[in-house]
Structure 1
């Protein structure tokens, strides 16, 4: 036998021995070097999915997404056998509520709440007068619901196909009579293991896998087979179960198939998401509240504690308090999941922590349950709205008895797959300590006795100092607090550590005391000072009005006196960077994914398959002290980027906007809110006067990157318009309420949130409207706004490529052009319209709007020509002009009824700036009325319900909402000449490169180059239907790619008789308002839409389309009767994105008017509104051009210049009104 053969034989024997040992259960030694170093691979953030699983809500999204998708974290599973008993996990109900002591404890807690409310004075220095529930009970018991509609519109989930499972909203709306079990796989931050059906670890993990996989497929549109190309960042609770973490990692890598994973704690990710380097993180969720201190990316183990209560407990407490006050909805049941949803909504709507809101207030709410009528309840509430959230500080009010209410971080029980865990380290240290002790004893024989005792005391405690125990009870407080009597009871000296911890976990700490305890467990006084100066509140359980001030007051009053003297400032942060606190941790996970140095933390599928749970010890920052240091360095890199202003969410400031932080420039002559279609115009025109200082504030970012339009091609390439139309980065992304006349559809309303506003998102169609639109304005009370006074300002704004004439301008900043493609389908459309009997018009913005022709577009030299390009950029170099982006104005400031400035949020900091002359709102038809109402201008009753102090009662604010609705009539094209071929990858690259190189080609137009206006029937004096023709197919606002060679017409009525409204959802500026356009609420509107479809079909049937005409795609040849057409309209009509008229211009005597003809807000001083919201009624056409005209005219009014006027300009009128065409 050769030497090589002998070696191979020996190796074979070694392997055989190893196999035998494994079979006998004898494990081989684990060599640390066997665990590999992390692989360095290029990070592609769009291939990283961030998952934040909460007890009630699952949030997940790509790391590149602005916001995550959020769905109820619930699953309904079909019964496996007929007659199986139904099982439903409870939501608001929990163990410990039905004990004999519960009622007494709840009453005692409420007494402490009432005492605390009385002891804290209101802002005026007076004591708050308590309101007895008896005062509301007598009124509420008399109230009966009003029937709004005999059909609520809500529907049970359709289970006719017997799906095996349903997830999210569908699971919540499963009919209780259907054979499904309801499971919430996570409760109170931990896996929901219990003895009932679906309560085993295997079943819970299976539920999670189904829910997460379903959400990834549905909301992220990632096929499960492609997950091998993706990596995952999983957020886990601060106090975690290592065995559960192991199972979750195994599920994600081995079952779902992700290629890699990072596991990190919620608290650390919250600091990433907020941009703070150190903070005491207070995460108030729906089911639990966790508190811990994080410093430089490391969560201090001893500071972690979890309180077993959260927002759902507040909802249940609120329900109990409302019952005491005679809650009129007497059928409400905590076992009914729809009633639980209602109670959560009522809590979020009505509860607050504002001591100044006192007395009885009237409220109303609606109930819309499936198979039931829609009901409206009215009722009164007093202190209940304040008492319920205060239960977070006095948890005895929850009435929970016999449950473990405070949870600390315990050591894991160990895992046989990881022998080198913390237990191994402690055992090794113990042996070393025994050896050291023996040596020390021998050396100490000659030392005095005092030293012997000291050394013995040191050695007995050394293991705790090397590896800390689960918790250190506070040093300066030295106690665990007993919430039952709201007093502090120090631990007795003889009490053992385990007994102390056991008793500590049995107490229900109030939120403020938990924060104080967590900070007190920090290792040094310097760290404690840091934590007191940065208390970050995340999660959705404390999103109450004035919660920030309330918690700050509690902390200041209860913090140890020794720190009260040395801590300069106690700061509680509830909305860092003005973000939704529920999304902060997820956002931090997304930030973590984008850092290059995150490579150190990835655990890859092949590594997990080989080394298993040991990889957590090697790579998870919260397990391994070495990785904690890596995490700390990661965080320092992140905060450095924040400091330098180069992170993703940076607040970039233009040349002059540094004035915002300067004392000398804290006031301006004019402050303009909103850099949109009107705001950019005003900024340019008002800053023309070098003596006037102008500040322009915009909530969104710039429309360029590093000064380049090419780098922001999605905005400036005309053909790329759908990219940003559905991108939240540059878009407010509004949605309406469910539309009862449109099958309860929620309509999407994009509005620009970027320099240029909606002129940076729109389809660039330049339409002025009809002359009679402006004459109607004058008749409606907007004197001086008739056509002869508006036409000069249209011309002043414009430079038309065809040159100036009686209707067109030739020297304005806004460049207007005609399409260049001369597409055969556009030619066919115009020819077919004439064959159908309609005239051709060579300028629908000139003498004759009626007819069909080539449309004007705000495109200049192949680029979108928004108001940012036309007006804003030319003004930036002026020394008297300043502009700031990513600045959210939250309130208008008043002295009495005199406007003196605005309050805004920048970089998470709330600041004020003052106006010497005027504040001008140019936020648009949604944001301007919203800001007025947030500032106390609006309907007094509505503002009172939200606790907003009244400045001026103007009931018209938010009313008179008007919009254009349209449908797409689509025809398949028999020739391959539509834009369908342009969507092919190689063609897209070719088109994009040509545009980037010389701003020409198919990318240099929006392709909406032809259109027209007609009258719907005889007797109509001027056009009331508009057409846009597109040689392509649009699906779901462009979010779905075209599926065939097709062309379409966008068609809709121009003067709808359906009028809507918008109202505040809450007093929080970050909450979108409630938008109710009330579409199709009149029969006239439905009739006009029917005409739109029929007249479009007539045009498509003409000879000009014969060589292109294929089958009708939408509505389809099967849709013929009026009833079928009506159904199509209800299902497919969508907004044309033209909201307007919500701050109507009119005479002060008009109760519905908000501004007068001088654009001044009625009833207050130094405040104007200038944007599409002041239109008295919507015009016949797109709104960008009229909005720019309004701003041009308003600028002259503000500057005191005489109004321009052009009299006797001829306008086309039909020869007879007896015919429709």
Structure 2
């Protein structure tokens, strides 16, 4: 159990790192995944996230602490526990983020992370299967990215209504200008999910220098004289030591990576010692700076056909299943959302600050199944929240989930932005060609007036949920709260890097799977450069 490089976590970033480090055949590489192999058929069927989220075989089943910003509610926080990580259970939505997001990272002192420096890695990662005149799309990467093949009339009419309301149409929000409305782009290939595992691990799995070890949970790092030399892991129920001759790369996600650091003695000393953990490096920023996107979900009843009605009986469900089995088309290829919009709540803003997820279905809780009436959801979120939360160790045992304190809606800006987002969602629905097809606003509903700020905010606090984008808990930078430097090396510890969404100093404007893969691509080059030196 000795390798040159050991990667902890086979998620969006970790799979990319494993592929790139093992590609030349020069180095021995192991990637450890706490979950199992991605054999569950629902992983590969796009609509299968309904079955994999909330399933302990594929989901870590995290839950937040009760949160004042959510009127004291505690909510589930799904994260992937399987090869591919969250890219195997997410909604397949592919969003790079705004060029300005990455330029901001660079302005914070993170050299090499501006848009011009990260764009080549987005391009290297993808094969874009749609039309594009722009030179910004990739043509030969392992990750298949496609435009939405599935269309629905209610989404078309929402897009047209948004244009009538004064917002522009944008055929490719993943180019330099994100602003506008249109259909989502998806990590999908021929009607099946293209997870990070499928894109990066499957083509590499027969390499003699790559070991893919599942059911392997890292318990703690082994640190000798300030250098990580390996780790202890529980593999199929047995504790084993794995040696890393060169480096360990933590890609266990925004919850897993900081938890492993803290259990290994790297974190805020005054928070570690009460759990009997010896402090190896006092890094107060570990587990702090937690950011997430909070979605509020207005629902509108409509006379247009939606998934609610298309799946209302067993005969219709059987017909949908048969179409997918025979053609890999139809409703089972639907991602978490079809339509999207990246809009501004204030024209004075340089870039959009809210994002829409337009879904041709509705439910009180997705696990409960769709409503019995025809309706669509116009989910809206604030893309760059000011509020930050933190993680807190429960114990010194890796199997005890840390306490998650999201601290949603803690600032006036965040409260104002989400209320304006709800108002824009309602406003768009007053424009044709959509308005004539809406019979009633199901929620927030008539009891919450459009201009009633307090009632709207209270509705959000009582109903909003995560859209599954935790980031920032091992942030990149050089300030006292930074955990890694701009080459993703943990400050003050040799032989250790972090490569996942936890390194984001500020959350990106949109879904986080694409940036996570980019981070894996970019750190791979850094690791190989340092090895050659």
1:915 and 2:244 equivalent? yes
Q: Which residue of 1 aligns with 2:37?
A: 702
Tell me the CA shift for residue 1083 of structure 1: 1.6
Q: C-alpha separation between the residues in 2 aligned to 1:1097 and 1:841? A: 21
Contact 2:125/2:143 (<8 A) preserved: yes
Q: C-alpha separation between the residues in 1 aligned to 2:395 and 2:88? A: 29
Q: Which residue of 2 aligns with 1:1182?
A: 511
Q: Which residue of 2 aligns with 1:1126?
A: 457
Q: C-alpha separation between the residues in 2 aligned to 1:696 and 1:876? A: 11
Contact 1:862/1:1005 (<8 A) preserved: no
1:789 and 2:117 equivalent? yes
Q: Which residue of 2 aligns with 1:759?
A: 87
1:838-877 pair list within 5 angstroms: 838-877=167-206
Q: For 1:980, what is the secondary structure of its paired residue?
A: helix
Q: Which residue of 1 aligns with 2:445?
A: 1116
Q: C-alpha separation between the residues in 1 aligned to 2:106 and 2:306? A: 46
Q: C-alpha separation between the residues in 1 aligned to 2:420 and 2:4? A: 51
Q: C-alpha separation between the residues in 1 aligned to 2:310 and 2:327? A: 22
Tell me the CA shift for residue 854 of structure 1: 1.9
Tell me the CA shift for residue 1166 of structure 1: 0.2
Contact 1:897/1:1163 (<8 A) preserved: yes
Q: C-alpha separation between the residues in 1 aligned to 2:265 and 2:530? A: 31
Contact 2:324/2:330 (<8 A) preserved: yes
1:1197 and 2:532 equivalent? no
1:203-242 pair list within 5 angstroms: none
Tell me the CA shift for residue 982 of structure 1: 1.9
List per-residue Cα deviations over 1:471-503 (Å, max 9, x = no partner): xxxxxxxxxxxxxxxxxxxxxxxxxxxxxxxxx
Q: C-alpha separation between the residues in 1 aligned to 2:312 and 2:209? A: 46
Bigger RCO (CA 8 Å, 6+ sep): 2
Contact 1:782/1:1176 (<8 A) preserved: no
Q: C-alpha separation between the residues in 1 aligned to 2:361 and 2:464? A: 18
Q: Which has the higher helix share?
A: 1
Q: Which residue of 2 aligns with 1:750?
A: 78
Q: C-alpha separation between the residues in 2 aligned to 1:720 and 1:1008? A: 13
Q: Which residue of 2 aligns with 1:1106?
A: 435
Contact 2:112/2:486 (<8 A) preserved: yes
Q: C-alpha separation between the residues in 2 aligned to 1:1061 and 1:842? A: 37
Taking a change above 3 Å as real, the CA distance of residues 1068 and 1021 of structure 1, as seen in their structure-2 partners, is same
Match of 1:1036 among 350, 365, 386: 365
1:1057 and 2:392 equivalent? no
Q: Which residue of 1 aligns with 2:468?
A: 1137
Q: Which residue of 2 aligns with 1:369?
A: none
Tell me the CA shift for residue 1007 of structure 1: 6.0
Q: Which residue of 1 aligns with 2:21?
A: 686
Contact 2:229/2:243 (<8 A) preserved: yes
Aligned length, in residue pairs: 528
Contact 1:803/1:810 (<8 A) preserved: no
Q: Which residue of 1 aligns with 2:293?
A: 964
Q: C-alpha separation between the residues in 2 aligned to 1:1058 and 1:1002? A: 37
Contact 2:154/2:305 (<8 A) preserved: no
Q: Which residue of 1 aligns with 2:374?
A: 1045
Unaligned runs of 5+ in 1: 1-665, 705-711, 1203-1221
Q: Which residue of 2 aligns with 1:887?
A: 216
Q: C-alpha separation between the residues in 2 aligned to 1:1005 and 1:719? A: 6
Match of 2:3 among 668, 671, 678: 668
Contact 1:726/1:1037 (<8 A) preserved: no
Q: Which residue of 2 aligns with 1:771?
A: 99
1:577-976 pair list within 5 angstroms: 666-704=1-39, 712-802=40-130, 805-976=134-305
Q: For 1:1104, what is the secondary structure of its paired residue?
A: coil
Q: C-alpha separation between the residues in 2 aligned to 1:1157 and 1:1192? A: 14
Q: C-alpha separation between the residues in 2 aligned to 1:995 and 1:981? A: 14
Q: C-alpha separation between the residues in 2 aligned to 1:973 and 1:1134? A: 24
1:482-631 pair list within 5 angstroms: none
Q: For 1:1006, what is the secondary structure of its paired residue?
A: coil
Q: For 1:738, what is the secondary structure of its paired residue?
A: coil
Tell me the CA shift for residue 857 of structure 1: 0.6
Contact 2:476/2:486 (<8 A) preserved: yes
Contact 2:249/2:497 (<8 A) preserved: yes
Taking a change above 3 Å as real, the CA distance of residues 844 and 1110 of structure 1, as seen in their structure-2 partners, is same
Contact 1:803/1:809 (<8 A) preserved: no
Q: For 1:915, what is the secondary structure of its paired residue?
A: strand
Taking a change above 3 Å as real, the CA distance of residues 963 and 714 of structure 1, as seen in their structure-2 partners, is same
Tell me the CA shift for residue 1000 of structure 1: 2.1
Moved more, 797-806 or 872-881: 797-806
Tell me the CA shift for residue 1201 of structure 1: 8.0
1:155-166 pair list within 5 angstroms: none
* TM-score, normalization by structure 1: 0.43
Contact 1:701/1:755 (<8 A) preserved: yes
Moved more, 1083-1092 or 980-989: 980-989
Contact 2:338/2:360 (<8 A) preserved: no
List per-residue Cα deviations over 1:290-326 (Å, max 9, x = no partner): xxxxxxxxxxxxxxxxxxxxxxxxxxxxxxxxxxxxx
List per-residue Cα deviations over 1:1076-1111 (Å, max 9, x = no partner): 010111121111111011010000111111342110
Q: For 1:1200, what is the secondary structure of its paired residue?
A: helix
Q: C-alpha separation between the residues in 2 aligned to 1:1152 and 1:928? A: 16
Taking a change above 3 Å as real, the CA distance of residues 977 and 947 of structure 1, as seen in their structure-2 partners, is closer
Tell me the CA shift for residue 1008 of structure 1: 1.9
Greater Rg by CA: 1
Contact 1:1007/1:1031 (<8 A) preserved: no
Q: Which residue of 2 aligns with 1:84?
A: none
List per-residue Cα deviations over 1:232-261 (Å, max 9, x = no partner): xxxxxxxxxxxxxxxxxxxxxxxxxxxxxx
Contact 2:99/2:176 (<8 A) preserved: no
Q: Which residue of 2 aligns with 1:1095?
A: 424
Q: C-alpha separation between the residues in 1 aligned to 2:192 and 2:310? A: 22
Contact 1:960/1:1060 (<8 A) preserved: yes
Tell me the CA shift for residue 983 of structure 1: 4.4
Tell me the CA shift for residue 734 of structure 1: 0.6
Tell me the CA shift for residue 1004 of structure 1: 1.9
Q: For 1:737, what is the secondary structure of its paired residue?
A: coil
Give the superposed CA RMSD. Answer: 1.4
1:11-22 pair list within 5 angstroms: none
Contact 1:722/1:1039 (<8 A) preserved: no
Unaligned runs of 5+ in 2: none
Taking a change above 3 Å as real, the CA distance of residues 927 and 984 of structure 1, as seen in their structure-2 partners, is same
Tell me the CA shift for residue 1118 of structure 1: 1.5
1:7-86 pair list within 5 angstroms: none
Contact 2:361/2:370 (<8 A) preserved: no
Tell me the CA shift for residue 1040 of structure 1: 4.1
Tell me the CA shift for residue 1117 of structure 1: 1.4
Q: Which residue of 2 aligns with 1:337?
A: none
Q: For 1:789, what is the secondary structure of its paired residue?
A: helix
Q: C-alpha separation between the residues in 1 aligned to 2:466 and 2:369? A: 17
Moved more, 1100-1109 or 930-939: 1100-1109
Q: For 2:12, what is the secondary structure of its paired residue?
A: coil
